[in-house]
Structure 1
Amino acid sequence: MTQTCQDTAIPETHIPPAVCNSIALSKLRSISSGFGPLLTRQYVKDADTQTDDDFMADMEMKHKMVIAELKTKNDSDEKRIKRLTDESNAEIRSLKSVIAELKTKIGSDEKRIKRLTDESNAEIRSLKSRIEEKELIEKRAPTTMDFLLGVARECVVHELKPGAIDRSMFLKCTPLKYDMDRFNLDKVHINTEGDMVNRKSDTRPVGEGRLKKYCGTCSTDPLPQDGCPQYWEVENRVSLDKPLSQTNLILEVGVCREEQRDADHCIDGRPYSYCMTVNHCTTHGGICRKIWKEGKHVLCLPDTLPNTAGASHTLHYGVVYDDARKKIVFIDVKEKKVMSTLDNVDCSEPLWPMFGVYNSDWVTVSMRLVVGSDIYMTEEKAMIVKALS
């Protein structure tokens, strides 16, 4: 149309000239083609008879048709995109499920492999330990048998492990004795039956080295460090004259180093000492058994006996000392149970068995030492084996 207007002669009527740049026409067409066809009157039927309104109607109809076609295509594309997205999501979910299943299986397999590996390693360690133990036993067997034959002449020996030839598997009922020259005669004495009683002696035998603070005595010798577990018992007859209060002691049994034997009236608060006491307990409000290790309270077992005047009871305890395993075990013989096992006992220096009885104003106590063939070993053996294992 622009070109036609350019070619047409200018009418006589004066009209301001319109300058058209035909150089950019091709570029205009190129740009216009990007959003639809370029229509002019010369391509429309009956151009002479078609009005501008008709032309605009045709253009609107064509525009609607193009929009409808584009919308249809767009809807089709959206459906296709949705279908592809759904398929893709389904495939992703399937892959995730497969991956999760594989991870679960791999995790299960790894756990099974770890368990089997751990079991295998444990079995290997056990076999190595048994082989080493067997080699050690075979190596020590001659000296061990000589040792056991020598011990058997002195005291009763019980087998803790059937068929064992290792000295650590035998229990020696040590023939302990009260050291008569160490009795603190201001606090205790020995009666005609050989029991220690919490009453001062009427006689004062001359002798150096008696205990001056400790309310009792020690054994004649320290415990030997020969790798063989040792066992002894004390049987105590207790009668309360009046109820106890505070932390009043009734009795004590245990072991300590030589320098601690007379450091105080008892050894429960002393370093390098391991003991059991029976005394009134402010925590439980009654009479308890207490376990002590190197001056520290380890365990409290209540309801040992009624805290009432006239109450009478027999208390029977056993002690195991094992320098090879560095353990001390306290046993309630009457109740047939282990009260406590103390581990990591310092056996670097000899330990002395200690025996104490206390508070004659409130209670009467007599302690009998049970050793050697006087020990009736029944359930105690099984308890000791379990406690030392």
Structure 2
Amino acid sequence: MSVTRMRDIQELNRLERDKKRPMCHHNDRVYGDCVCPNFAMDGSTIDETNLLMNCGKTLTNWGGCTAGYYRSRKYQGAIGTRSFATPGKFYFEVDIKFTIYRRLQEKLLFEIGIARREETERNRTVSGSKYGWVVCASTCSRCKTICLQTLHHGKVKRHKPLIPSWDPGNSCSAKMGIFIDTKAQQMVVIDAKQKSSFYRFKNVDYSQSLWPVFGTYNSGCASVELTTRTGSDILVPSIYFKE
């Protein structure tokens, strides 16, 4: 057996062990009744068009990664290592960077949110799913630029321009917070820089586990980078936002 083949088998075995091993909870950070859970993106779920770096904290659309055996066959991104199902309040953040290099070939640049695991096996994005709730950056025909949008079941709930236009050369740096309240059946998208609410999803179905999802798109036309802030990475949570 070749050394390369042996390394591939060892990597698959490691991914299988990691899949069964629960994410360590002792790096969770607790603020009152809200938990900032410690988790990363699961390398065994990453799509081959993406690249996972920084110990599973950073996802890009640069490609060049050979995904694990258990990766999603449809979703163009990665799934978090911990789900949300038990009653409680949870919060995490994502640093967002993107730069447009040439005319975009598709509408979507990134999406962040929560969804049932089976939804990632059906499509390359969960924004059209009945059991997916996301915030994304997408071209907007109304605003003639890239807008920050919240979507559920294929319907845009709110949108706001992120950059002056979708022309090459434009770039964006942002930070979004995701506040989850399973008991109140809500997910709030927060502008973590402004510490203000962007959109509140109501009647979120937590009857089954919902997993954090992170998708990056438009490889070859733009560079997209998503970096999660979880657990002890969050020093001052932006859940204390202005209504």
Give the structure-1-normalised TM-score: 0.53
Query: Residue deviations 1:276-325, cap 9 Å, x none?
Result: 11011112111101111233221122x20132322222121110111111
Alignment correspondent of 1:248: 107
Contact 1:238 1:315 in 2 (8 A): no
Instruction: Give the one of 14, 32, 35 matched to 1:172.
Output: 35
Q: Does 1:157 align with 2:2?
A: no
Instruction: Give the one of 323, 327, 333 matched to 2:186.
Output: 327
Q: How far off its partner does 1:152 sit?
A: 8.1
What are the ranges of 5 or more consecutive residues in structure 1 without an aligned counterpart? 1-150, 160-169
Q: How far off its partner does 1:192 sit?
A: 5.3
User: Given the superposition, is the C-alpha separation of residues 192 and 291 from structure 1 closer, same or farther in structure 2, using an over 3 Å criterion?
Assistant: closer
Q: How far off its partner does 1:237 sit?
A: 1.6
Instruction: Give the one of 191, 209, 218 matched to 2:53.
Output: 191
Letter in 2 for 1:241: Y
* Greater relative contact order (CA < 8 Å, ≥ 6 in sequence): 2
Q: How does 1:325-364 map to 2 (within 5 A)?
A: 325-364=184-223
SS at match of 1:181: helix
Letter in 1 for 2:206: C
User: Given the superposition, is the C-alpha separation of residues 343 and 221 from structure 1 closer, same or farther in structure 2, using an over 3 Å criterion?
Assistant: same
Q: Distance in 1 between matches of 2:62 and 2:231?
A: 27
Instruction: Give the one of 28, 36, 44 matched to 1:181.
Output: 44
Which consecutive segments of 4 or more residues in structure 1 shift more than 6 A? none
Contact 2:179 2:239 in 1 (8 A): no
Q: Report how many residues are paired.
A: 218
Letter in 1 for 2:63: K
Q: Does 1:221 align with 2:67?
A: no
What are the ranges of 5 or more consecutive residues in structure 2 without an aligned counterpart? 1-23
SS at match of 1:382: coil
Query: Residue deviations 1:204-228, cap 9 Å, x none?
Result: 36x4221222111101232241x22
Letter in 2 for 1:329: V
Q: Distance in 2 between matches of 1:269 and 1:236?
A: 22
User: Given the superposition, is the C-alpha separation of residues 325 and 192 from structure 1 closer, same or farther in structure 2, using an over 3 Å criterion?
Assistant: closer
Contact 2:191 2:198 in 1 (8 A): yes
Q: Distance in 2 between matches of 1:328 and 1:157?
A: 18
Q: CA RMSD in A?
A: 2.1
Letter in 2 for 1:155: D
Q: Distance in 1 between matches of 2:123 and 2:211?
A: 15
Letter in 2 for 1:334: K
Q: How far off its partner does 1:191 sit?
A: 3.3
Alignment correspondent of 1:369: 228
Letter in 1 for 2:194: E
Alignment correspondent of 2:12: none
Q: How does 1:109-188 map to 2 (within 5 A)?
A: 153-159=26-32, 170-185=33-48, 187-188=49-50
Query: Residue deviations 1:43-94, cap 9 Å, x none?
Result: xxxxxxxxxxxxxxxxxxxxxxxxxxxxxxxxxxxxxxxxxxxxxxxxxxxx
Alignment correspondent of 2:66: 204
User: Given the superposition, is the C-alpha separation of residues 249 and 171 from structure 1 closer, same or farther in structure 2, using an over 3 Å criterion?
Assistant: same
SS at match of 2:239: helix
Instruction: Give the one of 278, 286, 290 matched to 2:137.
Output: 278
Instruction: Give the one of 264, 280, 297 matched to 2:123.
Output: 264
Identity percentage over the alignment?
25
Instruction: Name whichever structure is richer in strand by fraction.
Output: 2
Q: Distance in 2 between matches of 1:199 and 1:228?
A: 35
